[in-house]
Amino acid sequence: DAGITQSPRHKVTETGTPVTLRCHQTENHRYMYWYRQDPGHGLRLIHYSYGVKDTDKGEVSDGYSVSRSKTEDFLLTLESATSSQTSVYFCAIRTRGSGNTIYFGEGSWLTVV
């Protein structure tokens, strides 16, 4: 599992509330990613990070922000959750010395009611 832990694994929240998902890695990898998975859309990149305090937007970044204050943690925040953000969120890391191998965490199921 490349040492990736996502939390919480399941969450139900109300529209308009802030939500933070955490991705924690234990192997000091530089690159970390947040994807969302929705039926009919596959997996789409929200934000990614290429180092501490270095982040950039993916293809579906509207309504999301991220932070990476230390190597091991990459946080995804929904400032004001909406029903369209009900999804499964996956964190991923790129391992060093293995070409472009990217591994995924087990996912965080978020329901916005």
Partner 1 sequence: QQQVKQSPQSLIVQKGGISIINCAYENTAFDYFPWYQQFPGKGPALLIAIRPDVSEKKEGRFTISFNKSAKQFSLHIMDSQPGDSATYFCAAIGGSNYKLTFGKGTLLTVNP
In the complex, the residues that contact partner 1 under the rule CB under 8 A are: 31, 33, 35, 40-45, 48, 50, 56, 58, 90, 92, 94, 99-107
**Residue 80 CB, nearest approach to partner 1 (Å):** 26
Phi, psi of 77 (to 5 degrees): -120, 130
Nearer to partner 1 by Cβ, of 15 and 48: the residue is 48
- Taking CA atoms, 79 is separated from 15, 21, 25, 59, 69, in Å, by 11, 11, 23, 18, 18
Nearer to partner 1 by Cβ, of 17 and 98: the residue is 98
Q: How many angstroms separate the CA atoms of 46 and 24, rounded?
A: 17
**Residue 10 CB, nearest approach to partner 1 (Å):** 11
Strand 64-70 versus strand 10-13 pairing type: unpaired
Nearer to partner 1 by Cβ, of 64 and 90: the residue is 90
**Residue 81 CB, nearest approach to partner 1 (Å):** 22
Element (H, E) at 78: strand 73-78
Q: Give the CA-trace dihedral at 58, 22, 108, 86, to 10 degrees.
A: -60
Nearer to partner 1 by Cβ, of 79 and 106: the residue is 106
**Residue 9 CB, nearest approach to partner 1 (Å):** 10
